[in-house]
Amino acid sequence: MTRSPRRSRRLLLAAPAAAVLLGLAACGGTAAAGGGGGDDGGTFRFALASDPSCLNPRVSGNNDAAYPSRQLVDSLTDQDPETGAIKPWLASSFAVNKAATQFTFTLRDGVTFSDGTPLTADVVKQNFDEIISHGAAQAQSLQFLTGYQRTVVVDDTTARVEFGQPNAQFLQATASHFLGLLAPSSLAVDPVNRCDANIVGTGPFVLDHYTRNTEVVETRRAGYAWGSSLWTHTGEAASARLEFKVIPEAAVRSGSLKSGQVDAIGGVPPQDESTITAGGVTLQVRPNPGQVFTLTPNVRRPALKDVRVRQALSLAVDRASVVKAALSPSYKPATSPVASTTPGYVDLSSRLTYDPERAKTLLDAAGWVPGADGIREKDGQRLTLVTYWATNFNPNQAALELIQQQARQVGIEIDLNSVPIGELQAKLATGDFDLSWGNSTRPDPDILRNTYWRDGTAPYGITDAALVKALKGQQTTVDARSRAADAATAQKVIVDQALGVPVFELTTVLGLRPGVTGVRFDSYSRLQLVAAAATRS
Amino acid sequence: MSAATLDPRVDPVRRSTAPVLARLPAPGVVLAAAWLVLVVLAAAAPTLLSGTDPYAADTGALLQPPSAHHWFGTDQIGRDLYSRVVHGSSLSLRATLVAVAVGVCLGAAVGLVAGAAGGWVDAVLMRLVDVLLAIPSLLLSLAIITVLGFGTLNVAVAVGFGSVAACARVMRAEVLRVHGSTYVEASASLGVRRPTVLLRHVLPNAAGPVLVLAALDFGTAVLAVSSLSFLGYGAKPPTPEWGSLVASGRDFLGSGWWLTTLPGLVIVATVLAANRLARALEGRREGDLR
């Protein structure tokens, strides 16, 4: 009787020891530089920070899904990362009517999908129709087609997309990978079966295979000759093969890069930046455009209905010290609800200051007085803000724990609850929350409409007339200057009314091994790998 | 707490308490006991061992290695790790105790009923226990926690469920052994009602080995509770817990080894100490029985 428990005990004790050994093995790595790849341009190996889970460009919203997915499809237009201007890609020219309801695209000649079918105006129509017909399964793309009526096939190379209401953001959306064009054979497949196969595009790479939680392998598309007008690289991709390895452990990812097992990594852990650059690795850094990481209050809640409480929260957050402690010098504190790389961004840093004393004064004025443990109370209610956040970005937890401490200094208690990223929106939709923490990437001011208002369906209960007017305004005009004016108004209202408490800009930090060239950021700060190559010494 | 403290009037086999004091405990046992006393002290009165606030972030002292000022160093947002480990022990230890209690109480109840009732009740209960034994206990705990939801108490209950089967088996075997004793037969023939016989005579005399098993379980429960909180099923951040401390430090293996190593060593030391002490107890019991 005493034998068997003793043996199981020994096994249990052996388990952590084995784990430690495995960890050490992973850290040690092997100096495998020089391995892999043939002579035909070789293999480019990239380590992803999480499993992409679905490569269908229509739904691949997060960075790690977008990286492999972006290489498979081309878009009608491309967006200049510097200026935000929309430039030709698969559409050699395009035009928008004044009311922002009709978008006409003239297609480039000679473009074919990897299954051999040519790109025609009818295929463009099929692409947009399919998004509408499979709307629920591809909500990430459906949001760009609000008010879609039809696509008119004017002739073989001309397609006109028509909307029943102004939809100015649509032109930018055609530059995103979400609306990248798929072949008819691919559209015939139900979206649920388009995550690890059946993705046929015109892109510089073709999907070879995707093994969940392991890797995505793509091969060079022979005869590719329709790169974006913004690229300096022309013709076929520089590397014959792309391998995206899924390496979720941050320390292992850094180790793989240092040891040369991969050529580049995404999601460089902020704390490892200085050690890996010391080893010769270069960092390629760009803030993600769109909504920065923000605490967004639910203004339906009695406490947060009061603008003074929201402003106090914003004043209590010491953005510079969050960046210093939880992140790295590659990241910047937020200076607006949108990141500095977003078209239409205005610098509002003078209104996003750290002033705990003023925060306390505001809370006093709002009737919240400190209780026994320092947390403020009013009518027997504690000032506890239930916050939901997703674990999609590693430093989130440290950043939020620090913000929690800072809020406590002025008497606000933040109750942190993490949920998987896929469940966050559903959780917020119940309305049972005080704050949500998150960001969303898009190089267009329309991101503000989609985040804060969503035509009245956003979970935060925002009804501010000035904000709604500005958000509607930017949607109804294609005139860049008047869109920018509306976007500026929206940003100011959000900051002044503290309808969002922006904290820091999500920044894409890539680590590149020496000898890696041609890794380019598109306007979303995501990878365009057509020119990427790794020379191995 | 085992044989020596049990009611001696009932079981003549166990009346060998005299040489216990003469036997001096081994140094390892003393060390183990001292460590456990320290851990219990940390859990009961953490402020005695650490005066620092485990939540206070100091952005001027990020990722500092262990020093005289910060014994275990500081974490990525400048909190004192030693203080977090000390304050974390209360939650980890409480969860462990709940886990062991759930395992022992439920297991003992199942074993007692099965052993005493016999027949088809015994057969059904023991086959259920066999099914439980067929599933690795940590896996079983994981399944239970996904049903119960996250949180330290749920982790504890889930871990407890994982050890029900072993307890039930031991209890049943003991009940069968005691059940045939003359004093049980005697009290039954005197007309004592069955439940009273079970509670007054069978349970106390069968409990010894189960309590030793509970002591043995304590070490594995510490480990299981920590594993689950490592996986993120435990307390909400920023509440410190041993397992979650190790988990949050694992991204810093390159820049802050102490974040995983030191809480990890505390867990290892506690598990080892609990096991050493339980083995000593077990040895003494076996000696008593001989």
Q: Give which of B62, B77, B271 to mutate to test A binding, by max A Cβ within 10 Å.
A: B77
Q: Which residues of B touch A400 (CB under 8 A)?
A: 237
Domain hosting residue B272, numbered range: 69-284
Q: How far apart are CA A229 and CA B54, in angstroms?
A: 56
All structural domains of chain A, each given as residue ranges with its CATH number in brackets, are 43-286+510-534 (3.40.190.10), 290-505 (3.10.105.10)
Q: Place B255 in a pLDDT band, splitting at 50, 70 and 90.
A: confident
Output the pLDDT for position A13.
Answer: 44
Does any CB of chain A come closer than 8 Å to the CB of residue B264? Answer: yes
- Going by their DSSP bridges, the two strands A215-220 and A158-163 should be labelled as unpaired
Q: Which of A13, A272, A401 is closest, CB to CB, to B237? A: A401
Output the pLDDT for position B23.
Answer: 64
Paired residues of A516 in beta bridges: A534
Output the pLDDT for position B17.
Answer: 52
Output the pLDDT for position B206.
Answer: 85
Number of domains in chain B: 1
Q: Place B289 in a pLDDT band, splitting at 50, 70 and 90.
A: low
Q: How far apart are CA A335 and CA A323, in angstroms?
A: 13
Neighbours of A3 (CB within 10 A): 7
Q: Which of A189, A260, A169, A193 minimizes the C-alpha distance to A54?
A: A193
The Cα-based distances of A193 to A55, A186, A190 in angstroms read: 10, 10, 6
Question: Is B272 inside any structural domain?
Answer: yes
Output the pLDDT for position B8.
Answer: 45
Question: Is B52 inside any structural domain?
Answer: no
Q: Place B19 in a pLDDT band, splitting at 50, 70 and 90.
A: low
Does any CB of chain A come closer than 8 Å to the CB of residue B60? Answer: no
Q: Which residues of A touch B55 (CB under 8 A)?
A: 405, 408
Q: How far apart are CA B217 and CA B214, in angstroms?
A: 5
The model's pLDDT over B181-216, given as tens digits with 9 standing for 90+, comes to: 888 888 888 888 888 888 888 888 888 888 888 888
Q: Which of A60, A62, A85, A82 minimizes the C-alpha distance to A73?
A: A60
Test A326 with B219 for CB contact under 8 angstroms.
no
Residue position matching structure tokens 């009695």:
A302
Residue B10 has pLDDT above 70, yes or no: no
| Predicted structure pTM score | 0.81
Q: Which of A160, A434, A143 minimizes the C-alpha distance to A306?
A: A434
Token pair in block for residue B191: 């007309």
Q: In the A/B pair of chains, how many CB contacts fall below 8 A?
A: 89
Q: Which residues of B touch A2 (CB under 8 A)?
A: 282, 286
Residue position matching structure tokens 């709940």:
B98
Neighbours of A93 (CB within 10 A): 12
Output the pLDDT for position A18.
Answer: 43
Contacts of B59 (CB under 8 A, 6+ apart): A321, A324, A325, A402, B77, B78
Output the pLDDT for position A12.
Answer: 44
Q: Which of B33, B26, B31, B27 minimizes the C-alpha distance to B1?
A: B33
Q: Which of B216, B268, B275 is closest, CB to CB, to A16? A: B268
Q: How far apart are CA A78 and CA A176, in angstroms?
A: 8
Output the pLDDT for position B283.
Answer: 82
Q: What is the CATH number of the domain that holds B130?
A: 1.10.3720.10
- Give yes or no for a contact between A151 and A124, defined as CB atoms under 8 angstroms apart: yes
- Going by their DSSP bridges, the two strands A381-382 and A43-48 should be labelled as unpaired
List, in sequence order, the alpha helices (H) in B6-136: 27-44, 46-49, 81-117, 119-134
The model's pLDDT over B90-120, given as tens digits with 9 standing for 90+, comes to: 999 999 999 999 999 999 999 999 988 888 9
Does any CB of chain A come closer than 8 Å to the CB of residue B239? Answer: no
Question: Is B21 inside any structural domain?
Answer: no
Question: Is B24 inside any structural domain?
Answer: no
> Taking an 8 Å Cβ-Cβ cutoff, which residues of chain A contact chain B?
1-2, 5, 9, 12-13, 15-16, 20, 23, 27, 249-251, 254-255, 269, 271-272, 275, 321, 324-326, 394, 397-398, 400-402, 404-405, 408, 415-418
- Return the half-sphere exposure (C-beta side, CA atoms, 13 A cut-off) of residue B212: 23
CA quadruple A170, A175, A180, A184: dihedral sign = positive
- Give yes or no for a contact between A249 and A227, defined as CB atoms under 8 angstroms apart: no
Question: Is B113 inside any structural domain?
Answer: yes
Grouped pLDDT means (10 residues each) for chain A, 537 residues: 42 44 39 41 92 91 91 96 94 94 95 95 96 87 92 95 94 95 95 92 96 95 94 94 93 90 92 87 95 96 95 96 91 96 94 96 95 92 94 88 94 91 87 94 92 88 93 88 93 96 95 94 94 85
Residue of A nearest to B214 (CA): A5
- Going by their DSSP bridges, the two strands A102-107 and A91-96 should be labelled as antiparallel
Residue of A nearest to B271 (CA): A13
Q: Which residues of A touch B77 (CB under 8 A)?
A: 325-326, 398, 401-402, 405
Output the pLDDT for position B256.
Answer: 86
Q: Which residues of B touch A416 (CB under 8 A)?
A: 236-238
Test A405 with B170 for CB contact under 8 angstroms.
no
Question: Is B137 inside any structural domain?
Answer: yes
Token pair in block for residue A504: 């820091």
Question: Is B43 inside any structural domain?
Answer: no
Q: Which of B248, B252, B268 is closest, CB to CB, to A397? A: B248
Test B223 with A27 for CB contact under 8 angstroms.
no
Question: Is B20 inside any structural domain?
Answer: no
Does any CB of chain A come closer than 8 Å to the CB of residue B130? Answer: no
Q: How far apart are CA B8 and CA B17, in angstroms?
A: 10
ipTM for the predicted complex comes to 0.71
- Give yes or no for a contact between A255 and A26, defined as CB atoms under 8 angstroms apart: yes
